[in-house]
Structures are given as C-alpha cells and as structure tokens.
Structure 1
Amino acid sequence: MDAETLRRALRDANPALSRFDPLSRIVFCDDFDRGFCGWTQLVGNYEGSLDSMLPAYAQHSHPMLSTLPNWDSGSHNGLDGGYALRVQTRPRRGARNTAIKRLTFRKAGPIRLEFYFTFKPEASELLLSETDVRSVGFLYDLQSGDSDAGGERVMPHLRFLNALDGEHVQRWQFKQALQPSRALGNSGKTATHDHLSPEGWENLPGGEQRLCYNEIATKVNWHYACFDFDLSRWQATSFRINDRVFDMSGFAPMRMPAWRNLWCMLNIVFFVETDTDKRASLAIDGVCLSGEF
C-alpha cells in the first residue's frame, strides 16, 4: 500500500475527517465539542485608547459555544455532537459580528478551507423570517513572507447576500475594492481599515443559489462549503457549496502593499449581518484547513 492510499484509508476510517476532502496535509480540523479551538473575537486595532477603534469593530463580541437552543424543540445541537461555534449579531439592523482564527503559513502553496454552516435570525416571531439575515460569509487575511520583494497583503472575501432591505437576494458576492485605511496613534506601528464595510461588494458570476432554509423559524439545515486558494499565485481556484461548484474566473481578492507586522499571516474570519432589528446567527460545526506543503 503506497503512502497516499494509506493516508486516505486512515482518513476515511475517522468520521470526523471523512466528511471532508482535505489536501495532503491537514493543518487543523476543529470540532467544537472540544472547545473554541482557537476561534476568538475579532477585536479592532487601537493604539493609546480603545476609543481609537473603528465603531464597526467595536460592535463585535466573542463567538460562543452553543447547542443552538430554541423554544419549541429544546436544542438542535451541533452537526455531530453537542456544540457548534455560534457567531451572533446585536439586535440592530445592519449589525455584524465575526469570529477569527489567527495563524501563519509555512509555505506558499495551495490551501483548502472546508466547513459546515447554517444560519437563522432570532426566533422571536412565529414566522419563517427568511429575509431577516442579511448575509453570512468568510474571508482569508493573508500576507506574503518577509523574503518577498515588496510584499503584498491579500484578502479574499466571499459572502452569501441572503437579503437586503427585506428583499430576498440569495447570491454569492466577493469584494476586491480597497477600503480607506488610516494610521492609529503616533508610533507608526498600527493602522486600521473596515474591509467588511457595506461598500464595494460585487456579484460572483453565476453566483445565484437557493440554500435550504426549512419551513419554520427554529429549524436549521447544515450546508457544506469548500474554498480553494493558491498562496503562491494569490488566486482562488475553486469554490463549492453543497452540490454547486462556482466559476471563479471572475473572482478577485483585495490586494494592497504589505502591512508592517503581518508577514506570513494566514487568518480566517467568519461573519454574519442582520437585515432587521433582531439578532442573526451563523453557526459553524467542523472546520478543516488543509494544504499542499
């Protein structure tokens, strides 16, 4: 038996891994029955005073470990256990929240992010409320190594725009437009920009998709996502949600000159926005990052 066949047999014998299609090296595979696994609050940059943080970041709070409780059936629980990672907004139209995992890469090569997700608004009405969640999405925050001449910071963003101003949209979007950045304090060491602001989102060509939402306000169904990106070319190579594989030839990430202290950065962010004055939640259960290195 060759090494690749043995590796696949070992993976397929483990239910926690066999639900994924990882590349040759698994960097991490998070099951939130084991805790937060390094996922935390995306705190905005500041220097000298917390008041220097952009208001868009000040609204963020820590993700939670949740059984996905609801009033009629008790709890949905996670995909294959008791807990999922839950990211929840404040009850204010347009509010957002995030969860982030911060690490670095050892080699600029292909990487693959896989995860299972679901989303719902707070079940405060006996209605389906399918247009109350504005969007759910994810992004990489990447920067080249310090040996690269010049260097770049690259930020691939993808979001599912579920609804906007009460209209059901159901379309995947990306964002390449740079947002204004500014220095914080006087040290020259810290800067900030609101790259998740509402401006600049573009429709992914062929990105319309109707996701399973179920019939009442408390029921959820899990979706599978897979996003491939090549760190050596700063290029998305594949994007899949459930049974759909999208054409990424029209996709482009944000690109900017390297920032001062972020060499070899490989951060992953999940986010959710609400379209009404009620909380919107994104739940994640099972996140696998793998690569060819």
Structure 2
Amino acid sequence: MTQTIEDMAEAMRLAMLRADPKLSRFDPLQRIISHDMFSEGHGGWSQLVGNYQGDLDTMLPGYAQHTSAMLSTLPHWDAGSHGGMGSSYALKIATRPRRGAQNAAIKRHTFRHRGKIRFETYFTFKPEATELKLGETDVRAVGFLFDLQSGDSDAGGERVMPHIRFLNALDGEHVQKWQFKRSNTEFQPVGEGDGVLSHYHLAPEGWEDLPGGRQRLCYNEIATKINWTYLCFDFDLDTMMPLALRCNDRELDVSGMDSIRMPAMKNLWCMLNFVFFAETDTDKRAFLYVDSVCISGDF
C-alpha cells in the first residue's frame, strides 16, 4: 500500500514521541503547547490569587486561603521520599489543615487557534500522614478546570469554565465519583466602587454527577504510599464543549456535561488558563501531587 506524505509525517511524529521517555507516556495531539516536568521547575504553575483592590484583605475568603504550589520530593517519615513518577520532584498543592479548606494552582496561556485541545496529566493525592492509619476518606476532592474566553473579534463572546472533580469522600464517607459544575456563584465587587469584580467558582455548591462516573482509584494500604493516576481531557475551543474524559482505563461520559458560562469580560480575550485544585474533608492537610502535564492541540 502506497503511503502518502501525510502518513509518513505522522509515522515519523509518533516514532519521535515514543522514543522520548518523557513524552511517550502521553498521547498528545499534533502540536504540543506545553510539557511540564517539575524536575525542571514550576513551569508557570503558580498560586491562584483572587482579585483585590487597594488592600489584600479585599480578596474573597475562598481565594485568601490559597497558598503557592511547591516542588516536592514527596517525603514521608517511614521510608524517605517517593520522588515523582519520572524524576525526583512533583508539583505539590496542599490545603490548610481545616475541614473544607481548598487550594489551587494555575497556569496562564492564551490560544492562537480555536480547535481541539488535550490536557493530560499523571497525579496522585494523599492526606498529610499525621496518623498511623490509612486515611482514605480524609481527602474530599481533587480536580481541574479550564478558564477560557473567546477572541475579541467574536460577536457575543463568552467566558467558559469547564470544571471537573473527583469527589473522593464527603463527611467521612467514601464516595469516589466524577462530577462537573455549570452553576456559578455571583460576582461581587472588591474594594471601593464596582470596577473590580470577583467570584469564587470553587464554592462547594452546584456540583453534578457525571453519568456512570463512579470509579475506584488506586489508593494504597498505608497513609504514606502513593500510586500515579493518568487523566486525559479533550475540549473544543471552537464550540466551547467537552469532547472526552479518560481516567486510567475508563472512558467517562461527558455528553451531558456543560461548563460555567458568562458574558465575555473586557480584558480576557483568547484566555487559555488551566487550574488544579484540592479540598480536604478533615482537619488535616490534603495533598494533590502532579508528576507531569502535557497540553496539546490539533493545529
């Protein structure tokens, strides 16, 4: 069978990806937008700071609890350090030790083409190992979201925010299911006047279950052990709709999923932001560890 130039180019692209141990663990689309290995630094992932004006105390309480993500060797007291999946470091997102506390890390881009994008990562989560017991229900949830806005030439542009979380436990009961959110909290003015607005979209209200979204993830036998989990989410920037969600060996149904939507804001054109977040269900810190992230597009 005669191969076309396009077939040969695709075969060469796949061969190059598979020859690179850092990339062969992913299934990226044609163009890699960013590839973060946290042995090389933070890669642009920083604290999700809320809007404020005149004084940091004008920040909404949800944002005020956030702290900076850090690079971690995943240390533990019984055997030393895990390190990341492919290096000595992973990105660590840690909540405060207060039931219901949250933390988040954000990476900020803009897009140059409204096509399909793919978000892939390897992650794991644990509570802080302060007790000699498993603690499998101590982490309430971990998840991710996109913060997107259409281009400035679009009539009737939108800001669109797909949110997805794995609800691990609630009030001490194991839940283990995937959820999404399409309802938003109200915008509030911060500081004096109404020139700066803010909304805490990670508020606990408004989460809905993905159909068939129950999944039992690997959670090892003692509080210090970890196993890395693969996650892949496809989204179309043209239609602003989700396309596919995969976690390990499961394809999840996103056909009924929608996103938080609002009118476009005056200074966020072509925004392409990515956020990880974690929440604790007990008065101990929840840790979300991210080994690596690959963001790619079909352009």
Is 2:265 aligned against 1:259? yes
Give CA deviations for 1:186-217 in whole Å, capped at 9, x if unaligned.
57542100000000000111000000001000
Residue 18 of structure 1: SS of its match in structure 2?
coil
Matches within 5 A, 1:214-225: 214-225=220-231
Shift of 1:185: 4.0
Give the aligned length.
293
Moved more, 181-190 or 12-21: 181-190
Give CA deviations for 1:17-67 in whole Å, capped at 9, x if unaligned.
110000000001100000001100001111111111001100000001000
**Cα separation, 2, equivalents of 1:284 and 1:208:** 22
% identical aligned pairs:
66
Give CA deviations for 1:65-98 in whole Å, capped at 9, x if unaligned.
0000000010010001100000000000000101
Query: Which residue of the partner structure matches residue 198 of structure 1?
Result: 204
2:236 to 212, 230, 241: 230
Matches within 5 A, 1:173-188: 173-185=179-191
Matches within 5 A, 1:113-152: 113-152=119-158
Query: Which residue of the partner structure matches residue 95 of structure 2?
Result: 89
**Cα separation, 1, equivalents of 2:121 and 2:195:** 34
Matches within 5 A, 1:1-293: 2-185=8-191, 189-293=195-299
**TM-score of the aligned structures, taking structure 1 as reference length:** 0.98
Moved more, 147-156 or 185-194: 185-194
Residue 12 of structure 2: SS of its match in structure 1?
helix
Shift of 1:260: 1.6
**Which one-letter code corresponds to 1:213 in the other structure?**
Y
Unpaired runs of 5+ residues, structure 2, are none
Give CA deviations for 1:160-193 in whole Å, capped at 9, x if unaligned.
0000000100010000002111233457542100
**Which one-letter code corresponds to 2:57 in the other structure?**
D
Residue 261 of structure 1: SS of its match in structure 2?
coil
**Which one-letter code corresponds to 2:226 in the other structure?**
V
**Which one-letter code corresponds to 2:22 in the other structure?**
A
**TM-score of the aligned structures, taking structure 2 as reference length:** 0.96
Unpaired runs of 5+ residues, structure 1, are none
**Cα separation, 2, equivalents of 1:194 and 1:41:** 15
Residue 208 of structure 2: SS of its match in structure 1?
strand
**Which one-letter code corresponds to 1:51 in the other structure?**
D
- Does the CA contact (< 8 Å) of 1:189 and 1:260 recur in 2? no
Shift of 1:151: 0.7
Residue 284 of structure 1: SS of its match in structure 2?
strand
**Cα separation, 1, equivalents of 2:190 and 2:157:** 22
When the two chains are superposed, the root-mean-square deviation of aligned CA atoms in Å is 1.0
**Which one-letter code corresponds to 1:55 in the other structure?**
P
**Cα separation, 2, equivalents of 1:118 and 1:223:** 6
Shift of 1:222: 0.2
Indicate how the Cα distance of structure 1 residues 35 and 272 shifts in structure 2: closer, same or farther if over 3 A, else same: same
**Cα separation, 1, equivalents of 2:162 and 2:143:** 11
